[in-house]
Structure 1
Amino acid sequence: MSRRRTLAAATLAVAVLTSCARPAPPPRPAPRVSATPIAAAAHAPAWTAAEMRALQAKLSAALGPSALASSGIAIVDAQGRPLFLRRERTPFTPASTFKVLVGATALEMLGPQFRFPTTFESLAEPQDGTLHGDVYLVGTGDPTLTRDDLRAGVAALARTGVRSVDGALVADASVFAGAEVNHDWDADDLQYGYAAGTSALALDQGTVEFHLEPTSVGAPVRIQVVPPSDAVRVRGGLVTGYSTMLTIQRDPSRNDFTFDGHVSPYAEQSFWRPVVGLPQYTAEVARAMMRRRGITIEGGVKTGLAPLAPSVLWRHRSPPLGTIVREMFFESNNHFAEQLLRAVGATRGVGTEANGALVERAELDRVGAPSAGLHVVDGSGLAPTDRIAPLTLATLLARVAAERIGPAFVSALPRVGIEGTVRRRGVTDALGRARAKSGHIKNVNALTGYVDTRRHGRVAFAILVNDRRADDGPVDQGISDALDVLARS
């Protein structure tokens, strides 16, 4: 008897079984700052009428140049009361600021301590070195699963004494459903790792590494596939030359990669490219690892459903969800966001983008954030057809900060001018007093987050610029000036 896995079942399994989790990477060093960012200031005094007039005049001046004049802006206090509004209910393309919606929803639905399990399972225990029947590699959506994690699983399997499996290696990714690659993404993006696919069983963020080792001028470049497997095929080749200019093209429907060009003899380097058929690919990598451990799989590799009452041979748990969300915000990781959208969708039965969108809308309704005009195409904001109103983002941030997940959510956002994708924003008074998520795609420049004011506590803001002049210098300067105005308030 078999079934489609559910995230609820995975959550229960994590609660009752132990495992070894991969430690989170050490935090990156950051400059010292004097202010403690984002103090709640529950009893901060409200703005007087005179202070409000002065604040709005200063913000109008800061947010007036270039494309900022027609942008969407919402700035609210800790209770969600408006401080400065401009086209606040107009739906805009949010780019990567959309990730705050999936991050808040995932933390609320699953909790900051939730960990995604990945397992090897079977119906029977090994006997005399043989595992009778199939062995199942079961994923539940871990965005962080790496080749090293999988290698540790194969090593654990070898330690049980298994030397042969007389069935197949079956990849079970049934927690999620739907196309791996979002059809609304720009086709030009699909050759790059930041547009990798989504699956409940994805390895190395849906990518494969090609390590290039040039030799002597005129000789071929050695192309190493990492991790090695039968799933990836290399066509064409590269020549060691006096400079580096190369292309790597993947067949749209299979993992055939064609190389062309030349590489400098001093340019040993790696490139990461997305793969398709993620569950099958991950299982093929696992089989190659098993082969090197002396474990044979008689029945090959296939996809399918694991049995209802398995014997768990190995269990890996991801880092806590709070750590995953933090990395997603800091690095603007699209793969993490897409995995989380389907993970929250799985709380409604199966992890689809459509179910994820329904859960996100329900979260906005729960906190009282307006959702008119909301259009959820993906979790990452990579799709130019995503839409959300600035007031929706600002209200969501204000309300979430005051809830049980507030500390985890707020601290997951990078400090403006200091770290993450917002480290190069030129703030002064707001340095150490603002945390935010940025967003950039063609003709979009967006920022949403918090500022800790000097006298009036925390404020939440969303600034969405949709214009061909979005990346002009006056736009970035105006946004930074507005954050400094708020910090001084």
Structure 2
Amino acid sequence: MLSPVKFLLGFVITVALTFQPVYAQFQSPNDVDTTPASNSGSYSSEYGPTFRSTLIRSIMPHLTHPDFENAIWGVHVIDLNTGASLFSRNAQSSMIPASNTKLYTTSAALELLGTDFRYETHVWTNGEIQNGTLKGDIIVQGSGDPTISGRFNDDDRTKTFRDWAADLKAKGITRIEGNFIGDDTIFDDIALGSSWSWDYTTYWYAAEIGGLSFNENCIDIEMTGTTPGKVGEIEIFPATNYAQLINETVTVARGEETSTGYNRPWGTNTIYVKNKLRQGQTTTYSLAITNTALFFVHVMREVFESEGITVVGNLYDRSGLASVGNYRENGTILTTYTSPTLEEIVYILNKRSQNLFAENLLKTLGAKYKIDNNLVENGAVLASADDGHKAAWPVFGAVGIDTLQLNLADGSGMSRMNLVTPEMTTTLLKYMWNHPDQKIRHAFVNSLPRGGEEIGTLRTMFQSGPATASLAAKTGTLGYARALSGYVTAADGTPLAFSIMINHHTRGGNQTNRAITNVVNTLAQFKYE
């Protein structure tokens, strides 16, 4: 038998060109703080301060545009060859980083778990097979794996469950007389991140965190307009009765205004869909459910039954564990799902800015921390986000970040309690760029979105321009906060790390994206002289 600890350890510049109109000028170089921090390296005296003044004059007009007079910019740019600070604006001020938080989560995870780490999710039973009938319960032991979905299976959402059903049938099982229990006690039962906005929780980007996750803890719906004035059609994926959809869509005539509207009342799995769709228009969306472990075993049972296995029993989340005792000591593993590698998971996490992956990964670090420090009691790890940060903090300290000034509340960046500085972020980026383990370096850098890349969050930005060829950077978007941090190569071949953050802007994404794009393109045109 696998002990809990054994199992868990196993998963164990000269720039004359600007790219948008410049509307404002600063009065003098004193408008920007340009003095390198004491740990930022130094530039060669061969060049003098000329390049720094050139950068200031090229970048500052974008940051001082009237659109941003009520906003706060934080910017830091360093030369990765020397560590020298090339540009600094509020670089040591705490900013809400939004999804730039994922840079911290993924770097710590790669450092502590390694690129080849995989999750394992076991299906146990405490019963015996008699004449084709399994007389006993099915217990699914969650490991925190967020990948049991269609994302790594060519959009085949239920493939893992069908594979499990096939494994059971290969053992001669055609009937199960027992309960289905989802054991998600690898994590605590706090399903949302600290200080998340309650009105986000209907949507995929605020899906509940869980030690057992299926379909990224969402149902996917496809809506099609029918005849003007009539209700639209809705199809649910996966096909399940776990959630109840109330179809209040309306089909409007061509040329009429369309709209979207979704609502899942708190604590329920009743979802109201109130879209206005044009005739023939099809749109899709992913909506979050509540109680991830129960969702997991509910759909699993539905799939087993559709695959010809009769099930007689009830469904339980962790509340059902009291009835099975220490099933890992007395039970048998029937089948196992092994996830893709951490390198593959981080690739999707950063490219798509997948919040659930980040939150589950943070708590996975927490599970490692508790196991390594002998903090597990009664077999239930119950790892929290705070445990994850306890694991990650020494990594950030070793990188050179002042952890007394760092505050992280979640793993994804959905929380407004996250506070980092641009200089902390370039320090982290520099460390990962120069990481002694080339596999970790590659996994991290390769996971960052590229301009115009279809899979990534920069697909509508940097489709052309000086930065397009070399840019690799993580986006961050939250209400009134936006960020872009990563790498770009200057015109003379110098690799640069940069962190650009803006908080409290009220003019919308187009203006901030334009300014950020101009700054990064300016960096791509930079030359020492």
TM (norm. structure 1) is 0.84
Structure 1 gap ranges (5+): 15-45
Give the aligned partner of residue 360 of structure 2. Answer: 339
Give the Å deviation of 1:293: 2.0
| One-letter code aligned to 2:359 | E
- Displacement of 1:252: 0.8
In the aligned structure 2, how far is the partner of 1:479 from the partner of 1:417?
17
For structure 2, the residue ranges without an aligned partner over 5 or more in a row are 13-41, 66-71, 150-156, 371-381
1:370–1:234 CA distance, 2 compared to 1 (3 A): same
Task: Please state if 1:407 is matched with 2:410.
Answer: no
Among 317, 328, 345, the alignment partner of 1:308 is 328
Specify which of 281, 285, 289 is matched with residue 275 of structure 1. 289
Q: Is the 8 A contact 2:194 2:410 kept in 1?
A: no
What do the CA deviations read for 1:310-341 (whole angstroms, capped 9, x no partner)? Answer: 42222112221111111121112222211211
Question: Is the 8 Å Cα contact of residues 197 and 275 (structure 1) preserved in structure 2?
Answer: yes
- Opposite residue 373 of structure 1, the aligned amino acid is Q
Larger relative CO (CA 8 A, sep 6+): 1 or 2?
A: 1
Task: Indicate the residue corresponding to 2:478 in structure 1.
Answer: 441
Match of 1:156 in 2: 167
Q: 1:234 corresponds to which residue?
A: 245
Map Cα deviations across residues 380-419 of structure 1 (whole Å, 9 max, x no partner). 1122231101111111111122221212211221234556
Corresponding residue of 1:225: 236
SS for the counterpart of 1:63 is helix
User: Could you tell me which residue of structure 2 aligns to residue 41 of structure 1?
Assistant: none
Aligned ranges for residues 194-205 of structure 1 at < 5 Å? 194-205=205-216
Distance change in 2, residues 1:400/1:268 (3 Å)? closer
Q: What is the correspondence of 1:283-432 to structure 2 with a 5 Å cutoff?
A: 283-304=297-318, 305=321, 307-309=327-329, 310-349=331-370, 350-403=382-435, 404=437, 405-416=440-451, 418=453, 420-423=456-459, 424-425=461-462, 428-432=465-469
Tell me if the contact between 2:228 and 2:279 (Cα under 8 Å) persists in the aligned partners.
yes
- For residues 160 and 238 of structure 1, do their structure 2 counterparts lie closer, same or farther at Cα, with a shift above 3 Å needed? farther
Q: Is the 8 A contact 1:120 1:138 kept in 2?
A: yes
Equivalent of 1:57, from 40, 48, 53? 53
How do 1:111-260 and structure 2 match up within 5 A? 111-124=114-127, 126-146=129-149, 147-148=157-158, 149-216=160-227, 220-235=231-246, 237-238=248-249, 240-242=251-253, 245=259, 247-260=261-274
Q: Indicate conservation of the 8 Å contact 2:202/2:289, yes or no.
A: no
Partners of 1:96 and 1:439 within 8 A in 2: yes
Amino acid in the other structure paired with 2:204 = G
Q: Which amino acid aligns with 2:99?
A: S
Deviates more, 1:195-204 or 1:345-354: 345-354
- Partners of 2:471 and 2:272 in 1: CA distance: 45
SS in structure 1 of the partner of residue 428 of structure 2: helix
What is the CA-CA distance between 1:214 and the residue it aligns to?
A: 5.0
Counterpart check, 1:460 vs 2:460: no
Q: Distance in 1 between matches of 2:520 and 2:336?
A: 46
Structure 1 window deviating more from structure 2 (179-188 vs 240-249): it is: 240-249
Kindly indicate whether residue 91 of structure 2 is the aligned counterpart of residue 88 of structure 1: yes
- SS of the counterpart of 1:323? helix
Letter in 2 for 1:468: H
Structural RMSD (CA)? 2.9
Would the alpha carbon gap of residues 428 and 54 (structure 1) be closer, same or farther in structure 2, given more than 3 Å must change? farther
On the 8 A contact 1:426/1:477 being kept in 2, the answer is no
**How many angstroms apart in 2 are the aligned matches of 1:410 and 1:465?**
23
2:446 aligned partner, one-letter code: S
2:349, 2:312 → 1: CA distance? Answer: 39
| 1:201, distance to aligned residue in structure 2 (A) | 0.9
What percentage of aligned pairs have identical amino acids? 26
TM-fit CA distance, 1:177 = 1.0
Query: Contact 1:67/1:469 (CA < 8 Å) preserved in 2?
Result: no
Alignment partners' CA distance in 2, 1:257 and 1:426? 37
Secondary structure class of the residue paired with 1:421 = coil
2:369 counterpart SS class: coil
2:344 and 2:527 mapped to 1: Cα distance? 27
> 1:117 & 1:332 partners in 2: Cα distance?
23
Q: Distance in 1 between matches of 2:200 and 2:120?
A: 30
Q: Deviations over 1:246-284 (max 9, x none)?
A: 533212101012344654441244332100001101111
Partner of 1:12: 10
In 1, Cα distance between the equivalents of 2:290 and 2:64? 40
Structure-1 separation of matches of 2:262 and 2:506: 32
Greater mean alpha carbon deviation, residues 183-192 or residues 279-288: 183-192
SS of alignment partner, residue 126 of structure 1: strand
Checking the alignment, whether the CA contact within 8 Å between 1:429 and 1:488 is kept in structure 2 is no
Q: Is the 8 A contact 2:263 2:272 kept in 1?
A: yes
**Which whole-Å CA distance do the structure 2 matches of 1:429 and 1:477 have between them?**
10
SS in 2 for 1:380: coil
Q: Separation in 2 of the partners of 1:362 and 1:77?
A: 25
Partner AA of 2:309 in structure 1: I
* TM-score between the two structures when normalised by the length of structure 2: 0.78
Structure 1 residue aligned with 2:522, among 471, 482, 489?
482
Give the length in aligned residue pairs.
457
Deviation, 1:467, is 3.5
Deviation at residue 364 of structure 1 after TM alignment = 0.4
* Distance change >3 Å, CA 158–CA 199, structure 1 → 2: same
C-alpha contact 1:421 1:438 (8 A) present in aligned 2: yes
